[in-house]
A and B are shown apart, each in its own frame.
Chain A
Amino acid sequence: MTDNALTYCPGCGHGTAHNITMEVLEELGIGDETIGVAPVGCSVFAYDFMNVDMTQAPHGRAPAVATGISRTWPDKYVFTYQGDGDLAAIGTAETIHACNRGENIVIIFVNNGIYGMTGGQMAPTTLEGMRTSTSPYGREIESMGSPIKMSELVAQLPGTYFVTRQSVHTHKNVRKAKKAIKKAFENTRLRKGLSFIEIVSNCNSGWKMTPNESNEWMEENMFPMFPLGDIKVNGKLKQAS
């Protein structure tokens, strides 16, 4: 990480997700050979905090930008860091096709079920009934569709090698998430294709809760819809439990 003070809201999971990603690169000794791609959304400023070369992508296009870098520098480590609006709404096509081609990159997908940067609008992963500024009476499935489960979706594609869903709200979960991110970059080293790490996270300011409340709410409401755990390992789908 750089010395810049984090600009994320206190209590937000982004800082931890950034930190463990950078720790993994340091532990693997590959930070100087890594290029990160920042999205549009709260983590647009990821490049202020992550101490690696970074390119900031247009909204949703990070997997295509990463494809351009990775294809022309196949020996480098390339990752995207994207939120749910970026990855699962405006960038769905780029996400699906980068996964389908099995690009040799890592996608870190932070899912907090809301558009934080623009002030708390409905996201593709917003839960049913959840109130946001564009679903002020709660997300109504009939007219607004259902929350989309990207990890389950991309796991179906032959190009994904490792798909997992983690969280960073407890010490135990942070350790597991970090282990998953490490495995993802090791997959890049072994040219195994695409590793997709979803981190279900909170947005206490967007959800209009205290950090603690938001973490509890996340456990009670987000995890049933987005259950934690590995979905695809070493190119093989895990059996649904």
Chain B
Amino acid sequence: MAELRLMKGNEALAEAAIRAGVDAYFGYPITPQSEVIEHLMAERPEERTGMIVLQAESEVAAINMVYGAASAGKRVMTSSSSPGISLKLEGISYLAGAELPAVIVNVVRGGPGLGTIQPAQSDYYQAVKGGGHGDYKLYVLAPASVQEMADFVPDAFEIAFKYRAPVMILSDGMIGQIMEKVELKDQVERLTDEEITEKYGHWATIGKKGRKERNIITSLYLNPEELEERVNKLVKKYEKMEEEDLRYEMIECEDAEYLIVAYGSSARIAQKAVQLAREKGIKLGLLRPITLFPFPKKQLLKLSDQVKGILSMELNTGQMVDDVRLSVEHKVPVEHYGRSGGIIYTPEEILEVLEKRIIKDGSIRHNKTGEPSLL
């Protein structure tokens, strides 16, 4: 039976990991996501399901423990917050290069540097545009509620194993810390070692018993043609993700004359702004990308025929707005509004920005080349 609980986003994610039959978690404490490992340690998952939980000596070690367990066919994850994710990027690039399934959670805090422990969305570029070295992408899920923190764990593993690729859950300090009602799924049994051997034995490094050829997990290809072939194989995966696994939500978009694009905690605030706008007679809609890669490019392009202006709302100084602009191909003006430093905007503030910059003066400021200007 599904169970209703009142939980923090971080706790819900940790509990969902146990219930999703995850084999191992390796992590290192950092605010505002330490509740993930704290919940896991308190729950004794090794007794509940046999799930291994280990506090590593660093984020670097944690992601490499993930790399090891993933190379051995196990369902394995780690979580951290912005500065810690920067440390994990080397390992994430290796996971992508060696085609290994794993889930990485980023409960984003403000940066750069040590920044703040307050929520932010300033790791969009890092998550969506690569972050680590080399030609790779992450499939990125952006939860906007405690419920989605829980639900996206099994979803992320499904994608990770479908594509043999690392998947990121890009949350933020607000979604990680707020308490909400969450419906927890029933316990899923972990795969047995025999099942893992049968399902993934053709690539996983688990000892070559029963096989003629040994398995090798590597991302090193010194032969240029070979590496190019590998990189092109990754590109094919990403194209398939765009075709088959794009996720987004449209709110009040049917008759919208104006559009907000927002994800994660910003989408919650945007939703309230849509309600306030509608009460004032402004036909405002919200497009919430649930996956940040793949990005709902086609949906945005289609909406650009319908709306007069788009506001990209992000808790940063303008990152996702690039993807919004690329998607609409200059058909419609796109503005960005953001706060940083851990400051969160209010729905009223958003509405005011929308009215001032997009609606009231009827046009967007244009630069000399005739393109819509930045702020």
- Contacts from A to B (Cβ < 8 Å): 2, 31-35, 37-38, 44, 47, 51-58, 61, 64-73, 76-77, 93-94, 96-97
Contact = CB atoms under 8 A, between A and B. Distances in A.
Nearest to A61: B64
Given A64-B68, A68-B24, A72-B76, A97 B61 contact: yes
Contact of B57 (A31, A35, A97): A97
A56 to B, nearest CB: 4
Q: How large is the interface on B (under 10, 10 to 19, 20 to 34, 35 or more residues)?
A: 35 or more
A80 to B, nearest CB: 10
Contacts of A57: 64, 67-68
B24 A53 contact: no
Contacts of A93: 57-58, 60-61
Given A65-B71, A69-B72, A33 B220 contact: no
B64 A58 contact: yes
Nearest to B95: A58
Contact of B91 (A34, A58, A67): A58
A52 B208 contact: yes
B216 A44 contact: no
A53 B208 contact: yes
A60 to B, nearest CB: 9
Nearest to B65: A68
Contacts of B206: 35, 53, 73, 76
A32 B211 CA distance: 9
A101 B52 CA distance: 15
Contacts, number: 133
A76 B207 contact: yes
A32 B90 CA distance: 30
A57 B91 CA distance: 9
A167 B58 CA distance: 33
Given A58-B90, A97-B61, A73 B208 contact: no
Contact of B67 (A34, A53, A58, A97): A58
B209 interface: yes
Interface string B218-241: 111000000000000000000000
B205 A69 contact: yes
Closest 9 CB pairs of A and B: A68-B68, A64-B64, A68-B65, A65-B68, A61-B64, A56-B218, A68-B69, A32-B209, A97-B57
Given A66-B68, A71-B52, A54 B24 contact: no
B54 interface: yes
A53 B205 contact: yes
A64 to B, nearest CB: 4
A149 B218 CA distance: 30
A70 B58 CA distance: 18
Contact of B69 (A47, A72, A96): A72
B155 interface: no
A61 B67 contact: yes
Nearest to A38: B218
A53 B207 contact: yes
A140 B76 CA distance: 45
Interface string B177-195: 0000000000000000100
B67 A52 contact: no
Interface string B36-71: 000000000000000010101110111011111111
Contacts of B23: 72
Given A33-B207, A33-B209, A94-B64, A64 B56 contact: yes
